[in-house]
A and B are shown apart, each in its own frame.
Chain A
Amino acid sequence: MDIDLLSNILYAMVRTGTPLLLVALGELVCEKSGVLNLGQEGMLLMGAVVGFIAALMSGSLLLGFLLAIAAGMIMSLLFGFIALGLNANQVATGLALTIFGTGLSAFIGAGFVGKPIDGLEPIALPLLSDIPLLGKMLFSQDLVVYLSFFLFAAVYWFFRSSRPGLVVKAVGENPHAANAIGLPVMRTRYLAVMFGGAMAGLAGGYLSIAYTPLWAENMSAGRGWIALALVVFASWKVERVLLGAWLFGLASILHLVFQGLGFSISPNLLATLPYAATVVVLVLLSRNQIRARLLAPMSLGKPFHATS
């Protein structure tokens, strides 16, 4: 295998992994606050369709991205209102949000299927992009990919050294204790959910404006679910989310690679790899019960009633 091919594979891996990374970072923050939002796929699609239409009609990619983010946040607020405000079951609410978002995005986007736009172009950074092997992968990407690097670093720093990060972790571990010492449980959870929505919206916009600049019904093709699996795969650790997103990205382009090398493996089979990997990781994690308990946010998915 020559170095050009390898460098191209790495480039495609990062590009494919970017929407997964964005969604998973958002969901990670959300889950760290104790909220399980299974509506990622719905928010992703809404971001994609709204972003695409906005970019098409205005001709401004930036506006497209901004409205994609806004669409994701509005969807997440809907989830927040039902699951946090009304204390509904988070799993059911999240599933409903996915179904709702899938349907609504198809409805809104019906007239826009197949229309072309000029998508976001990659920007090769001078000098850096000439580094052998890694130059193309890291420094010949488009702006959203660079933004995803930044967001990764920001979330990493947030949980590692910031006080708000500590508050999010505390709220996700023991909301009653957090309430008792005066931390704003509900506000924290709402903000975390909205961050998740914004990230999913951005990822949706990336799909329809940059990755494959067009709109097609259900174009996210399960990426929301892969991102959810990714958070578990990463055992709620930020650095592993990055690794996992790229790994899962690699898995989903593997069939192309194999084709190029002359093998033929069913892409459907390869598409199961992320899920299989998640199951393996879950099994490994739960071998040590104490460690397993400490990894996942302890009150994940449990509604919080501020009783007094």
Chain B
Amino acid sequence: MAEPHITPPRLTLRGITKIYPGCVANDSIDLNIEPAEIHALLGENGAGKSTLMKVIYGLVRPDQGEVLWDGLPIDIKDPAHARKLGIGMVFQHFSLFETLTVTENIALALGDEAGDLESLAERIRDVSQKYGMALNPDREVHTLSVGERQRVEIVRCLVQPIKLLILDEPTSVLTPQEVETLFVTLRQLAREGCSILFISHKLNEVRALCHKATILRAGKVSGECLPEQESSESIARMMVGDETAISTDYPKVDGKAPFLQVRGLTRTSEDPFGVDLQGISFDVRCGEILGIAGVAGNGQEELLGALSGEDQVENHDAIHFPEGPVGNFSPRERRAAGMAFVPEERLGRGAVPDMSLKDNALLTGFLSGLVSRGLIAHGKTRHFAEQIIERYRVKTPSSETHAASLSGGNLQKFIIGREIMQNPRLLIAAHPTWGVDIGAATAIHKALIELRDKGAAILVVSEDIDELFQISDRIGALCHGRLSPIKPTPETSINEVGRWMAGEFQSPAA
């Protein structure tokens, strides 16, 4: 790094262009990565980050442009070729085989260099020890946690000589502690001379970790910067452009009469690894957003299941709408009574991956006049879907596009839009902006605030404490199936809620 003119850049991209039918994914992109540099590639969903990565890893052939490796022009034919050059990639959706062991997974990727499994297992142990990533080579992958699976992917890159490591949104699946450990490993790697391309849209992390950043917008390079010298706002501005609002302070309000009343909700989880709910009581008032914080796995799933109606509670009186107890209502009956629900998993529960957006719109919209006498009103349904797409700026070719082919942020906008367009009196949203970029997150927050101001009661369960402080009018936290006191947001602090999340509170009398 000290003598950039003597050492050529590790990787240089010149004018990379990739055109898909109907969209220009990469439009003459230039990129330079030096040896030992941690380089951030930033951009919103659909900005072209993934395509560019795939070009570097040999999964996609660019239509135009030139790739230089250590200063020499090269045509990366396929991932095997990329690996031979010393390029490793950690995928966002892990490319692991669940029924195989860690060693077998790594052997598959290495090809003929893998050698016999015994000695490979030894190498895996060495590498995982050296970089502080505990890993048992003999475990089958389906028994591993998400964080451990990511380690498998990283170790898989490190057991062979590596010069450039590409990580696609590696932190979106990790707890804050795991993120910290990962960063230690990455810094160590960079010190040893490995270049790292870090794809993310979490600006704080990029500023904490990366030496340089290249920002993409709509397939083009919209800026380059030294992240340490920039503020999160200024980087975000380069990502989203001038038109999009980034984040706003929303005025806090006091709710009116309670809509949802939960009293002494106690439930034993059916899942052996689940969390039992213990005497949970709270109100969600009309015209307010109640935020419930907490680290995942502290009873959120159980609470959401009981509220959505997917799981019935024995004590029907534990959950009240203004019309009366609804604890024995099915999800459909609760929806008919004015509730809308946005589940945590977008694909599989929020939307059916292999169905079109139009059909997905029908899935919860069927109560608002899209079905007449048992027949689907296709025209109306399409119109409804197109309204959602237009109003919530869902980026999609058409309402016939499959849900699975939308990016996370776009699909989430669609799902939330679908629920809000039905004018619910109560909206329950689980992790509404999980894995969503700034532009989409801001749009989702605005939509929630708008709905609140129309008088709906909103409950947001989220792990993102910053988000909750931004949009909630009152806030509480779940820990081990118990609910902390609930306070108006202006009267509490991130520190206090953080202590609640760790369980430091007296349970309010039920």
Contact = CB atoms under 8 A, between A and B. Distances in A.
Nearest to B140: A294
B95 A176 contact: yes
Contact of A182 (B78, B91, B94): B78
A250 B59 CA distance: 51
A181 B99 contact: no
Contact of A308 (B59, B96, B108): B59
Interface stretch (A144-152, A161-169, A215-223): A161-169
A27 interface: no
Contact of B97 (A163, A177, A308): A177
Contacts of A308: 54, 59-61
Interface string B88-104: 01010011111110001
Nearest to A306: B59
Contact of A170 (B54, B80, B97): B97
A173 B105 CA distance: 12
Contacts of B61: 308
A229 interface: no
B111 A174 contact: no
B421 interface: no
A167 B98 contact: no
Contacts of A163: 107, 114
A177 B96 contact: yes
B439 interface: no
Most chain A CB inside 10 Å of its own CB: which residue of B83, B95, B97, B142: B97
B203 interface: no
B157 to A, nearest CB: 10
A166 B79 contact: no
A183 interface: yes
B59 A180 contact: yes
A289 to B, nearest CB: 12
Interface in B44-93: 54, 58-61, 78-80, 83, 89, 91
A49 interface: no
A298 interface: yes
B99 A166 contact: no
Contacts of B54: 308
Interface in A87-121: none
Interface string A175-203: 01111111100000000000000000000
B270 to A, nearest CB: 13
A182 B100 contact: no
A285 B98 CA distance: 18
Contacts of B337: none
Contacts, number: 57
Contacts of A174: 95-98
A298 B54 CA distance: 25
B290 to A, nearest CB: 35
B100 A170 contact: yes
Given A166-B100, A169-B100, A294-B142, A183 B95 contact: no
B98 A170 contact: no
A174 B59 CA distance: 16
B104 A182 contact: no
B31 interface: no
B413 to A, nearest CB: 23
Chain B interface size band reads 20 to 34
B108 A180 contact: no
Contacts of A183: 108
A167 B100 CA distance: 11
A170 B80 CA distance: 16
Chain A interface size band reads 10 to 19
B109 interface: yes
A170 B101 CA distance: 11
Contact of A294 (B60, B98, B109): B98
Given A294-B142, A308-B54, A180 B79 contact: yes
A182 B97 contact: no
Contacts of A167: 108
A153 to B, nearest CB: 21
Interface string B108-133: 11010010000000000000000000
Given A177-B97, A308-B54, A308-B59, A170 B91 contact: no
Nearest to B59: A308
A166 B112 CA distance: 13
A294 B107 contact: no
A173 B78 CA distance: 21
Contacts of B108: 166-167, 170, 178, 181, 183
A14 to B, nearest CB: 31
A182 B99 CA distance: 19
Nearest to B91: A180
A42 B59 CA distance: 38
Contacts of A173: 97-100
A285 to B, nearest CB: 15
A179 B89 CA distance: 13
Nearest to A176: B95
B151 to A, nearest CB: 16
B89 to A, nearest CB: 8
Contacts of B89: 180
A182 B91 CA distance: 13
Given A182-B78, A308-B54, A166 B83 contact: no
A178 B78 CA distance: 12
A172 B83 CA distance: 23
B79 A181 contact: yes
Interface in A252-308: 294, 298, 308
A172 to B, nearest CB: 9
A169 B104 CA distance: 11
Nearest to A180: B95
A308 B56 CA distance: 12
A28 to B, nearest CB: 15
A173 B97 CA distance: 7
A294 B99 contact: yes
A181 B95 contact: yes
B59 A298 contact: no
A176 B104 CA distance: 17
A288 B100 CA distance: 19
Contacts of B96: 174, 177
Give the 5 A-B residue pairs with the shortest CB-CB distance, closest first: A177-B95, A182-B79, A182-B80, A181-B109, A180-B95
16 contacts: A166-B104, A169-B99, A170-B100, A173-B97, A173-B99, A173-B100, A174-B97, A177-B91, A178-B95, A178-B108, A179-B59, A180-B91, A182-B83, A308-B54, A308-B59, A308-B61
Given A177-B96, A180-B79, 11 more contacts: A169-B99, A173-B98, A174-B97, A180-B89, A180-B95, A182-B58, A182-B80, A182-B109, A183-B108, A298-B98, A308-B61
Interface of B: 54, 58-61, 78-80, 83, 89, 91, 94-100, 104, 107-109, 111, 114, 142
Interface of A: 163, 166-167, 169-170, 173-174, 176-183, 294, 298, 308
